[in-house]
Structure 1
């Protein structure tokens, strides 16, 4: 009797070469999916190939601002994932183009080929926000659900993991500076979420285990203030640094200067974002639009960051924590 070979589902991942993207690609590859990574610089995405079997992961060029490239990237796909987002504007990479119109372009392309859609937004997305980042994230969500009614939309809080730009950035700063700034006094609350848990949530939506047409808010098991995040990080890298509160007015002045750099350390829009807490809403909790609905138990900050922040200790992995 002749065996019928089952061809693995093809999943197109926009932004698959980014921080969250590489973990999503790994989770999909482990499940046996054929993965097509669509990104602006495929020449810099070679590191993704070892995450799967030979030929399982393919990388191609696509830009959300160029519609034909988006349409080409979703051809024959069974599921489409959009992870693309920017933290600051540069050149033609503007918030509306990438996070609003770009999100709609991906949704329309997915609908055209009959593919399911998972869209990763951000906690704090709000149509009425003073932050351009948060407002365009909300516009992107609305465009996605308007175009593909049963799409799965995720809003993660600040995402941490080996390649993050949060704990790594401040841990690196702590190597050279005796002072770490606490913008607005460090009172802003976060619910840091491990990148591996976000990737698993995305993969489960591809598995068909997540109800579509909803916005899920993804936060870790701990609510920490900015100050507490810095204290946790300093304890892990075994360094003592002065945590200096920075008033909002001064933070905006600093951001006006730092925002002029090619890769800004801080922008005025980011300062505006920090004025609002970044935690899962009570409404999402009561309606079970959280990790609980996905049957995922998220990891704590303390359980994960020692595995990658050890390199910022004075003697690296050989440092005796607490030693004088």
Structure 2
């Protein structure tokens, strides 16, 4: 395994594909604090102009980009010193589906980044695996395989579920608990997770870019706690100080309900049910492997102490309490 040469140690302009999403915003903010210039390559830049306030004048630029189109990807990488691939879809929607984004989009970025000789950081998922019957998981795996083939020195990061302000997991189920007297335990709530803080994921991206970790490797990112889905729901209820009943829901039934609601769209004033993609993710354990720990392919392995959920969840889930920040310590 080779270490990045000096050329890779401090790239100046980073193109972040999907930089306006939950993880992307944190990555962009972390990069700007370290002095990098960032090009945010997104489909709808008009929705991300507010991000320019994160950095100094001219430090962040927006560019309309479609990862499905090779010419668009090439334009986004002009004069770039490195690329970060972050686009993610939890359900297929027309042309913006699993195959076009997670596979073909990943291929376009990896091939062009390799052709111009710049580093690539590819964000995947911890429960990615071969032979899965779940389209989302299969697409993530195929995307990884293509990236490895096209850009052998690409660094692949596999995070477990990610928490932090604006996340799509803890916020969603907290919102559901505001309106529903029950919370679903998909598959009995036994699937294991190792929630990782979004700030730690962003820090790992920076470590990958500044040359302090080895190129061409797959890193598994998890926090200090391993919890079952049921325990995560209990943690949410504890933080938002509410009591709710749990109901076991099979994966197929949950997926059926989510699929129907996806078709009809969001009902006004009612929080959305989990998407089919989110339910698919809940099928498989998402914890760091023993091999990754032994080989140092983890946060701790590169010198990052992962932060626990504790006070971080409370810092942004308080708004789901009955009286918000003024709620008493009783449920």
Report the TM-score when normalising by structure 1: 0.93
Residue 14 of structure 1 corresponds to which residue in structure 2? 17
Matched, 1:311 2:319: yes
Cα deviation, 1:116-171, whole Å, max 9, x if unaligned, reads 11110111111211111111111111111111111110000011111011111111
In 2, Cα distance between equivalents of 1:249 and 1:138: 22
Residue 4 of structure 2 corresponds to which residue in structure 1? none
In 2, Cα distance between equivalents of 1:97 and 1:249: 25
Q: Which residue among 121, 128, 132 is the counterpart of 1:129?
A: 132
Q: In 2, are the aligned partners of 1:158 and 1:193 still within 8 Å (CA)?
A: yes
Residue 288 of structure 1 corresponds to which residue in structure 2? 296
Unaligned 5+ runs, structure 2: 1-9, 267-271
Residues 268 and 53 (structure 1), Cα distance of their counterparts in 2 relative to 1, 3 Å cut? closer
Residue 301 of structure 1 corresponds to which residue in structure 2? 309
Q: Which residue among 70, 74, 87 is the counterpart of 1:67?
A: 70
Query: Which of structure 1's runs of 4+ aligned residues deviate more than 6 A?
Result: none
In 2, Cα distance between equivalents of 1:66 and 1:218: 30
1:93: how far off? 0.9
Residue 161 of structure 1 corresponds to which residue in structure 2? 164
Q: In 2, are the aligned partners of 1:232 and 1:302 still within 8 Å (CA)?
A: no
Unaligned 5+ runs, structure 1: 1-6
Cα deviation, 1:283-308, whole Å, max 9, x if unaligned, reads 21222211122211111111310000
Choose between structure 1 and 2 for higher RCO, CA contacts under 8 A separated by at least 6 residues.
2
Q: In 1, are the aligned partners of 2:225 and 2:308 still within 8 Å (CA)?
A: yes
Q: In 2, are the aligned partners of 1:111 and 1:148 still within 8 Å (CA)?
A: yes
In 2, Cα distance between equivalents of 1:272 and 1:315: 33
Q: Which residue among 212, 216, 219 is the counterpart of 1:216?
A: 219
Matched, 1:279 2:282: no
Report the TM-score when normalising by structure 2: 0.92
1:48: how far off? 0.9
Q: In 2, are the aligned partners of 1:12 and 1:38 still within 8 Å (CA)?
A: yes
Following superposition of structure 1 onto structure 2, how do residues 14-93 of structure 1 map, counting pairs within 5 Å?
Answer: 14-93=17-96
Matched, 1:146 2:154: no
Q: In 1, are the aligned partners of 2:241 and 2:329 still within 8 Å (CA)?
A: yes
Measured on the aligned residues, the alpha-carbon RMSD in Å equals: 1.7
In 2, Cα distance between equivalents of 1:219 and 1:246: 26
Q: In 2, are the aligned partners of 1:152 and 1:210 still within 8 Å (CA)?
A: no
Following superposition of structure 1 onto structure 2, how do residues 108-119 of structure 1 map, counting pairs within 5 Å?
Answer: 108-119=111-122
- Tell me the secondary structure at the aligned position of residue 322 of structure 2: coil
Aligned residues: 317
Residue 254 of structure 1 corresponds to which residue in structure 2? 257
Q: In 2, are the aligned partners of 1:259 and 1:266 still within 8 Å (CA)?
A: no
Cα deviation, 1:206-265, whole Å, max 9, x if unaligned, reads 111111111101011101111111111111111111111113453344234234244673
